[in-house]
């Protein structure tokens, strides 16, 4: 199959540029399209055969359910058997936008789309290309991130082409996405809403809107027997670069902090001991690996990028004072390391506050929970 690429101008979306794409979706084909979070791989959410094609193109396990994307509120009701009050409040606050809600599903949604679950994930994206495409298709559009299963989600059309060329009918190229991390997922089917995947609608924002929100333990820790994630997709090693990724974080325990303060007191004059500890540890490890002839990548920030040794591939995600920039650049940087065929990547840790929760969730998963505390 030849994959057609169609450029669309996000600032000036014309229906005529999207008619062929909408037609492909209505006929059961696959079209990748930009959203404000990451690129999605779209198909008719009500067509079992189209959903099957998505799993095949991605190489995705079929128990991993898809998100149905809609363009108008009137499209929600046919998909769900109930709209809980918390869901209603969250929709009003954050749709259209980077928030996916889990509802009890109606009989209309095939189990192929929901991976056999009795619930359905629904999102109304804000990206103008996505919205126009869904509207013109006239059906809810099932869309996982448009990457091969297990690779970092695509934030540019070129990433989609790398993974999907020859496997899908069309890619709508609307340029780089805005956010760069997948949507926040909240399950509103229980008595208390539960955060299943952190994203740009942060936990603080959710709590401001609906009060109490629980967090699925799988959001912050590795999956174990008694810690199975509620979002089936969260159990796979995900967002993963081909190289081994090791996350290096400062140990902020009392004991270590006191020892550091003691050192400072003795005139070390160190303004950012935690950050420096991380830089020192990464530098030491990277030099050891370079010595062995390995290709080493370092994922860092503008604040530290000049401190690392020559010979390593150094990529800054931007300044630590702007979470949005770090989030925006993360998946692209992981893909670049793949292209450069590095053997091992060391990444600095970032703040877990606000959007940082999503950033660190993706980073720790990409690292397969391999975290070095220094």
> Would you tell me which residues interact with ligand TXA (CB under 6 A)?
35, 37-38, 40, 64-67, 100, 102, 114, 117, 119-121, 123, 143-145, 182-183, 185, 196, 230-234
Among 35, 114, 126, 145, binds Mg ion (CB under 5 A): 145
Residue closer to Mg ion by CB (options 64, 270) is: 64
Residue closer to ligand TXA by CB (options 57, 296) is: 57
- C-beta of 202: minimal distance to ligand TXA in Å? 15
- C-beta of 257: minimal distance to ligand TXA in Å? 36
- C-beta of 100: minimal distance to ligand TXA in Å? 5
Catalogue the long-range contacts made by 154-160 (C-beta closer than 8 Å, 24 or more residues apart).
154/32, 154/38, 154/39, 154/331, 155/38, 155/39, 155/180, 155/328, 155/331, 155/332, 156/39, 156/332, 157/5, 157/32, 157/34, 157/39, 159/39, 159/331, 159/332, 159/335, 160/32, 160/39, 160/41
Q: Which residues make beta-bridge pairs with 185?
A: 100, 197
| Chain residue whose CB lies nearest Mg ion | 145
Residue closer to ligand TXA by CB (options 119, 304) is: 119
- C-beta of 293: minimal distance to ligand TXA in Å? 36
Residue closer to ligand TXA by CB (options 127, 249) is: 127
Choose among ligand TXA, Mg ion, none what residue 201 binds, the Cβ cut-off being 5 to 8 Å by kind: none
* 3-class secondary structure per residue, 83-114: CCHHHHHHHHHHCCCCEEEEEEECCCCCHHHH
Which range in 124-132, 138-146, 159-167, 288-296 contacts Mg ion by CB under 5 A?
138-146
Choose among Mg ion, ligand TXA, none what residue 357 binds, the Cβ cut-off being 5 to 8 Å by kind: none
- C-beta of 231: minimal distance to ligand TXA in Å? 4
Choose among Mg ion, ligand TXA, none what residue 123 binds, the Cβ cut-off being 5 to 8 Å by kind: ligand TXA
- What would the DSSP string read from start to end of 26-47? HTT--EEE--SSS-EEEEETT-
Please, are residues 103 and 83 in contact by the beta-carbon 8 Å criterion?
Answer: yes
- C-beta of 329: minimal distance to Mg ion in Å? 18
Token reading at 330: 């993360």
Residue closer to ligand TXA by CB (options 70, 300) is: 70
Q: Is 118 exposed, middle or buried (0-12, 13-18, 19+ CB in 10 A)?
A: exposed
Tell me phi and psi for residue 44, to 5 degrees.
-60, 115
Token reading at 99: 């928030």
> Is there binding between residue 37 and Mg ion (CB under 5 A)?
no
**Three-state SS at 367:** coil
In the complex, the residues that contact Mg ion under the rule CB under 5 A are: 145
């Amino acid at each position: 199959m030849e994959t057609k690429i169609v450029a669309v101008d996000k600032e000036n979306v014309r229906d005529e540029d999207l008619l062929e794409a909408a037609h492909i979706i209505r006929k059961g084909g696959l079209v990748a399209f930009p959203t404000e979070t990451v690129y999605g791989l779209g198909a008719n959410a009500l067509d079992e055969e189209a959903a099957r094609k998505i799993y095949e193109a991605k190489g995705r396990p079929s128990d991993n359910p898809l998100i149905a994307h809609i363009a108008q509120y009137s499209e929600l009701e046919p998909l769900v058997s109930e709209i809980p009050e918390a869901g209603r409040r969250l929709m009003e606050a954050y749709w259209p936008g980077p928030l996916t809600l889990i509802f009890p599903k109606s009989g209309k949604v095939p189990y192929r789309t929901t991976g056999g679950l009795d619930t359905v994930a629904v999102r109304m994206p804000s990206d103008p290309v996505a919205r126009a495409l869904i509207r013109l298709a006239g059906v809810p559009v099932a869309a996982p991130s448009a990457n091969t299963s297990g690779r970092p989600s695509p934030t540019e059309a070129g990433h989609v082409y790398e993974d999907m060329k020859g496997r899908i009918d069309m890619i709508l190229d609307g340029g780089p996405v805005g956010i760069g991390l997948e949507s926040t997922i909240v399950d509103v089917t229980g008595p208390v809403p539960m955060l299943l995947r952190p994203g740009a609608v942060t936990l603080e924002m959710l709590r401001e809107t609906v009060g109490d929100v629980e967090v699925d333990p799988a959001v912050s820790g590795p999956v174990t027997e008694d810690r199975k994630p509620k979002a089936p997709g969260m159990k796979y090693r995900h967002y993963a670069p081909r190289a081994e990724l090791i996350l290096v974080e400062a140990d902020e325990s009392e004991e270590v902090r006191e020892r550091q303060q003691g050192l400072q007191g003795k005139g070390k004059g160190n303004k950012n001991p935690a950050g420096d500890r991380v830089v020192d540890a990464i530098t030491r490890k990277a030099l050891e690996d370079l010595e062995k002839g390995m290709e080493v990548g370092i994922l860092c920030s503008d604040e530290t990028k000049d401190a690392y040794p020559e010979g390593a591939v150094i990529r800054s995600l931007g300044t630590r004072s702007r979470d949005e920039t770090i989030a925006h650049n993360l998946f692209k940087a992981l893909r670049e390391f793949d292209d450069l065929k590095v053997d091992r990547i060391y990444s600095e840790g970032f703040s877990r506050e606000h959007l940082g929760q999503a950033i660190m969730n993706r980073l720790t998963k990409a690292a397969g929970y391999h975290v070095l505390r220094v």
